[in-house]
Homo-oligomer: A and B are copies of this chain.
Amino acid sequence: MTALDRTTGVAAAQGFRAAGVAAGIKASGNPDLTLVVNDGPAQAAAGVFTTNKVKAAPVLWSQQVLTTGRLRAVVLNSGGANACTGPEGFQDSHATAEKVADVLGVGAVEVAVCSTGLIGERLPMDAVKSGVDIAAKELAGGPAASLAAATAVMTTDTVPKQVALTRSGFTVGGFAKGAGMCAPNMATMLSVITTDADVDQSTLDKALKDAVARTFNRLDVDGGTSTNDTVLLLASGASGVKPDAAEFAQALESVCADLVAQLQADAEGVTKHVSITVRGAATDAEAVAAARTVARDPLCKTAFFGSDPNWGRIAMAVGNAPTAFDPQALDITINGVAVCRAGGRGDDRSLADLTGREITVEIDLHAGPGTGTVLTTDLSHGYVEENSAYSS
């Protein structure tokens, strides 16, 4: 089987068990605590964390424990971000890891912690600790446990997001939640990915950083990077298969890209899925920067919402990007119609039909070999409604 399978996820790979339970952290009584355990034989792990200077307590804790390159377990809660909660908040993350360590008979420094929800509120630690007890009893491998794990991390996500991929005898699978518009002021993106491939820590680390740069970091809904963003990758080695680094990296990137597509599709208030590709930049980094500037521009995003092939706004946004190019060489194509050629009016813009859900913008700067794509959404009434009316 080499196809992406969304019926399973974080507990698909051999050596992993997971659970998702209702611990009473959320007032709604919905599932809110997820536990993922790596039974080995290996415990290599890697992580990528938010670049925000205001980091939540669980991020500070998990960055610290990951310096060993090993993890036995990850505990995640929704219903509270544990961000801007001071030294007490850090003690809460530490205590959560200690509780998981006690229950599993491992060390607290082998347990990563992730949180998502409101900023500035302490967690109800009694609920968190009793939730860990419940989750530990429900740990299992396979699709049902994977789905439960993917469900208990949801905030305003409308569907759980998970996928697994098996190829050449090893499996990579995981879940993700959140991303910008899906989740007003709990904009956190969390993802845990597992594999039974036998991969050393430095290979894991490089593969994860590369995959995140090309997938999660290319989805830009509203430009914000939350206080809690975390992606973790755990390897059990249980399949006994040692893929070469390139093959493993490719499988991992496929899984990450599919999770990102699910995140984009579930962004609430969204009516358009927009892909912005920049070609002909001096470097790939400049191409991504230019695409990101367009993806974040509110005038472009409202035009997408209005199904308006307004290339003048795109030209303006690209002109504001930190990217070198000759404005007289700028080409812009929207849904296949070359509306701007050589910096001026091209084909009739009314030929570009943007009434469907998918909008593809292609920009050629004719300044070099660099290319890059950023995925985004439109700026809709739904976005304003959800983010202004949301009570917090």
Q: Which residues of chain A have a CB within 8 Å of any CB of chain B?
A: 51-55, 81, 83-86, 89, 118-121, 184-185, 187, 222-227, 296-299, 302-303, 305-306, 308, 310-313, 315-320, 325, 327-328, 330, 340, 342-345, 379-381, 383-385, 387-392
| Chain B residue at smallest Cβ distance from A317 | B224
Among residues of B, the one whose C-beta sits closest to the C-beta of A382 is B384
16 contacts between A and B (CB under 8 A): A53-B318, A54-B316, A54-B318, A54-B330, A55-B319, A119-B316, A120-B315, A121-B345, A222-B297, A225-B320, A227-B312, A298-B387, A302-B387, A308-B391, A308-B392, A380-B384
For A343, list chain B residues within 8 Å (CB): 54, 84, 86
A312's partner among B185, B344, B385 (CB-CB below 8 A) is B185
In the complex, the answer to whether B226 meets A298 with C-beta atoms within 8 Å is: no
Assess whether B306 is in contact with A389, with CB atoms less than 8 Å apart. Answer: yes
A86-B342, A120-B344 given; name 7 further pairs at CB < 8 Å. A84-B344, A120-B345, A185-B313, A223-B297, A298-B379, A298-B387, A306-B390
When the two chains form the complex, which single residue of B86, B312, B387 contacts A328, counting CB atoms closer than 8 Å? B86
Instruction: Decide: B316 and A227 in contact? CB cutoff 8 A.
Output: yes
A306 touches B388 (CB 8 A): yes
A227 interface neighbour in B319, B381, B388, B391, Cβ under 8 Å: B319
Contacts of A384 in B (CB 8 A): 302, 305, 379-381, 383-384
Assess whether A222 is in contact with B298, with CB atoms less than 8 Å apart: yes
Residue in A85, A312, A330 whose Cβ sees the most chain B Cβ within 10 Å: A312
Q: Are B315 and A54 in contact (CB under 8 A)?
A: yes
A185 partner residues in chain B, CB cutoff 8 A: 299, 303, 310, 312-313, 316
A53→B312 contact, CB < 8 A: no
Give CA–CA (A120, B328) in the complex, Å.
13
Please name all residues of chain B whose beta carbon is closer than 8 Å to the beta carbon of A299 when the two chains form the complex.
Answer: 184-185, 187, 222, 224, 387
How distant is A261 from chain B, measured CB to nearest CB, in Å? Answer: 22
Highest count of chain B CB atoms <10 Å: which of A184, A185, A316, A381: A316
Question: In the complex, what residues of B have CB within 8 A of residue A297's CB?
Answer: 222-224
Bound-state CA distance A120–B185 (Å) is 38
Minimal Cβ-Cβ distance residue in B for A343: B84
CA distance A385 to B381 in the complex (A): 8
Question: Closest 3 interchain pairs by CB?
Answer: A119-B312, A54-B319, A306-B388
Q: Which residues in B have their C-beta under 8 angstroms from that of A342? A: 86
Given contacts A53-B327, A120-B345, contact A388 B302 (CB under 8 A): yes
Flag if A310 contacts B392 (CB, 8 Å): yes
Rounded to whole Å, the gap between the CB of A324 and the closest CB of chain B is 8
Among A317, A342, A344, A380: residue with most chain B CB under 10 A: A344
A86 to B328, CA, bound (A): 7
A185, A344, A387: which has the most chain B beta carbons within 10 Å?
Answer: A387
Nearest opposing residue in chain B for A81, CB measure: B312
A308 neighbours in B (Cβ, 8 Å): 388, 390-392
Q: Are B306 and A55 in touch, CB under 8 angstroms?
A: no
Interchain CA distance A387-B52 in the complex, whole Å: 30
Report chain B residues within 8 Å CB of A302: 184, 383-384, 387-388
